[in-house]
């Protein structure tokens, strides 16, 4: 293989053969192709695109660059392209397991405005996300679900290539994104993959057209690799749920997993009862129902009913609690700690929260700005080595469409380790929440279904 000739062809818009792509990926993973040539390849793909056959070959080569797992019985995983307040995995993965699926879920630590799923779970004292693949398999076998950190054994080619793309301006390319996401998810071995492709101001894909194109490519790629697959393109203009921040989001996911079962009054929190976040509940049920329906070959309505029943009867929460225990986490300690933080609001809660400037309705909540506020407060990281403050974040007190009165608090902000950042973050949240005299029109959460 002469890499320079492959680069010449790709630069001119030509097509590479599957065996050429495999040879390139294998050689790069071994260290036989230097970063500068692979960066040139990534840029050529960014500019020229890839055919479906090329994308499939790239995905397959990256998937097989490391360990590939397999499961007996129906299995599924959900992948989200990520958004502000996106705590859906914490609800969906145990919910799908409670319906009889194996749910092996390797997730990321977030680089960006807020933590990833693993960062969120690590706000539970003792939760060990760094399992070996054997430990991961044992947890899935024991309780049906494990959410663990991506290991170095899974798709090492993607780890190396993604780090290069990140610093060479070559992340925004659909074939490269598909290869990156799918290689990891296919290597995990779940028979069904359901994608939540976020679209809007707080999402990686800002436009509906881009989000739909990515959803189509992910579903086609997963099917080409022999898996069952579907995607929902969902709105990410305002944050999901009430909270943005790691422990806050775990707390809210527990509300959803437990609130249905026990009723609002029985929630473990001593403060005033909060309504359940309807957007989180709706998307969790829709995505989990698709996992169950595809994996078991069951009718979608029946799967939806089973998911709602398992939220209401406590079965989904029981799976979550069991998973946390098997990962070494102490849920009681987490709940007790959250209770203390609630009744001691002097602990770096913004003394002057953002307030409604006039009577009216919440017309919009800019997800990106709320995410920036959470980042200011310490909920995210700019570099892989930065520490996250699990208790930092934003709790919204209003959602789009709510009526408000002048002077009403709109959000509560928490910054235990960076109280000096509270005023700037309050300003960001104030700017994020627009109040108008007329109620906004209702917008659907699910923008497109791709099957
Ligand atoms: N997430 C990934 O895992 N890979 C990409 O390329 C983009 C988002």
**Is 22 tagged catalytic?**
no
Indicate if 177 and 219 belong to the same structural domain.
yes
Which residue carries 């290597």 as its tokens? 187
Here the CATH number for the domain that contains residue 38 is 1.20.970.10
Indicate if 225 and 198 belong to the same structural domain.
yes
pLDDT at position 8, please?
Answer: 98
* Residue 22 lies inside a defined structural domain of this protein: yes
Task: Report the helix count and the strand count for the chain, using DSSP H and E.
Answer: 17, 12
pTM of the model as a whole: 0.95
**Is 184 tagged catalytic?**
yes
Here the CATH number for the domain that contains residue 358 is 3.90.1170.30
* Residue 405 lies inside a defined structural domain of this protein: yes
Whose CA is closest to atom 5 on ligand 1? 177
Residue pair 40/77 in contact by the 8 Å Cβ criterion: no
Contacts of 160 (CB under 8 A, 6+ apart): 28, 29
pLDDT 10s digits, 161-183: 999 999 999 999 999 999 999 99
Structural domain of residue 33, as residue ranges?
3-49
* Residue 446 lies inside a defined structural domain of this protein: no
pLDDT at position 339, please?
Answer: 67
Residue pair 62/154 in contact by the 8 Å Cβ criterion: no
Indicate if 328 and 353 belong to the same structural domain.
no
Out of 184, 290, 338, 421, the active site residue is 184
- Best residue for ligand 1 mutational test, from 105, 109, 177, 205 (most atoms within 8 Å of Cβ): 177
**What's the structural domain count of the chain?**
3
**Is 165 tagged catalytic?**
yes
Out of 79, 120, 369, 381, the active site residue is 79
* Residue 59 lies inside a defined structural domain of this protein: no
pLDDT 10s digits, 72-128: 999 999 999 999 999 999 999 999 999 999 999 999 887 778 889 999 999 999 999
When pLDDT is averaged across residues 410-424 and rounded to a whole number, the result is 93
Here the CATH number for the domain that contains residue 276 is 3.40.1030.10
Indicate if 264 and 325 belong to the same structural domain.
yes
pLDDT 10s digits, 285-304: 999 999 999 999 999 999 99
What angle separates helix 246-262 from helix 315-326, to the nearest 10 degrees?
140
Task: Give the number of other Cβ atoms within 10 Å of residue 253's Cβ.
Answer: 26
pLDDT 10s digits, 35-65: 999 999 999 999 999 999 999 999 999 999 9
pLDDT at position 264, please?
Answer: 45
* Structure tokens given for 162: 């993604």
- What angle (nearest 5°) sits at the alpha carbon of residue 204, between those of residues 199 and 206? 45
Q: Point out which residues pair with 231 in neighbouring strands.
A: 195, 450
Indicate if 371 and 404 belong to the same structural domain.
yes
**Is 79 tagged catalytic?**
yes
DSSP string, 229-275: EEEEEEE-SS-SSSEESHHHHHHHHHHHHHHHHH-GGGSS--SS---
Ligand 1 centroid – CA 173 distance (Å): 10
Residue pair 75/189 in contact by the 8 Å Cβ criterion: yes
Ligand 1 centroid – CA 181 distance (Å): 5
> Alpha-carbon distance 255 to 264, whole Å?
8
pLDDT band, very low/low/confident/very high, at 341 (cuts 50, 70, 90): low
pLDDT at position 336, please?
Answer: 84
When pLDDT is averaged across residues 301-320 and rounded to a whole number, the result is 95
> Alpha-carbon distance 289 to 307, whole Å?
6
Ligand 1, atom nearest to 204 Cα: 8
- Best residue for ligand 1 mutational test, from 81, 110, 112, 180 (most atoms within 8 Å of Cβ): 180
CA atoms within 13 A on the CB side of 336: 5
């Amino acid at each position: 293989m002469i890499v320079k000739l492959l680069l010449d062809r790709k630069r001119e818009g030509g097509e590479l053969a599957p065996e050429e792509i495999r040879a390139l990926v294998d050689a790069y993973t071994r260290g036989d192709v230097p970063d500068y040539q692979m960066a040139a390849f990534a840029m050529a793909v960014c500019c020229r695109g890839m055919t479906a056959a090329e994308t499939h070959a790239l995905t397959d080569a990256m998937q097989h660059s490391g360990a590939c797992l397999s499961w007996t019985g129906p299995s599924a995983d959900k992948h989200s392209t990520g958004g502000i307040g996106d705590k859906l995995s914490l609800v969906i993965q145990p919910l799908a397991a409670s319906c009889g699926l194996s749910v092996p879920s390797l997730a990321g630590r977030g680089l960006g405005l807020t933590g990833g799923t693993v960062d969120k779970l690590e706000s539970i004292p003792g939760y060990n996300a760094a399992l070996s693949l054997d430990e991961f398999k044992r947890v899935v076998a024991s309780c049906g679900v494990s959410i663990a950190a991506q290991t170095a054994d899974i798709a090492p080619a993607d780890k190396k290539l993604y780090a290069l793309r990140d610093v060479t301006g070559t992340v925004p390319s659909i074939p490269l994104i598909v290869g990156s996401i799918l290689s990891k998810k296919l290597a995990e071995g779940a028979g069904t993959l359901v994608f939540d492709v976020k679209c809007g101001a707080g999402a990686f894909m800002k436009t509906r057209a881009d989000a739909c194109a990515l959803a189509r490519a992910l579903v086609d790629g997963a099917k080409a690799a022999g898996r069952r697959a579907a995607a929902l393109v969902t709105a990410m203009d305002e944050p999901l749920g009430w909270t943005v921040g790691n422990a806050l989001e775990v707390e809210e996911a527990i509300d959803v997993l437990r609130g249905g079962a026990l009723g609002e009054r029985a929630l473990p929190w001593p403060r005033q009862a909060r309504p359940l976040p309807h957007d989180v509940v709706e998307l969790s049920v829709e995505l989990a129902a698709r996992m169950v329906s595809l994996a078991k070959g069951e009718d979608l309505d029946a799967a939806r009913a089973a998911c709602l029943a398992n939220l209401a009867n406590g079965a989904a929460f029981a799976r979550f609690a069991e998973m946390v225990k098997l990962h070494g986490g102490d849920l009681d300690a987490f709940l007790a700690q959250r209770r203390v933080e609630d009744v001691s609001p002097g602990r770096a809660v913004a003394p002057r929260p953002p307030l409604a400037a006039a009577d009216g309705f919440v017309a919009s909540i800019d997800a990106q700005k709320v995410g920036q506020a959470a980042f200011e407060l310490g909920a995210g990281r700019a570099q892989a080595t930065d520490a996250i403050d699990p208790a930092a974040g934003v709790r919204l007190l209003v959602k789009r469409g709510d009526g408000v009165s002048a002077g009403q608090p709109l959000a509560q902000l928490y910054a235990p380790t960076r109280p000096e950042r509270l005023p700037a973050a309050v300003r960001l949240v104030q700017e994020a929440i627009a109040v108008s005299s007329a109620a906004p029109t209702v917008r659907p959460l699910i923008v497109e279904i791709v099957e």
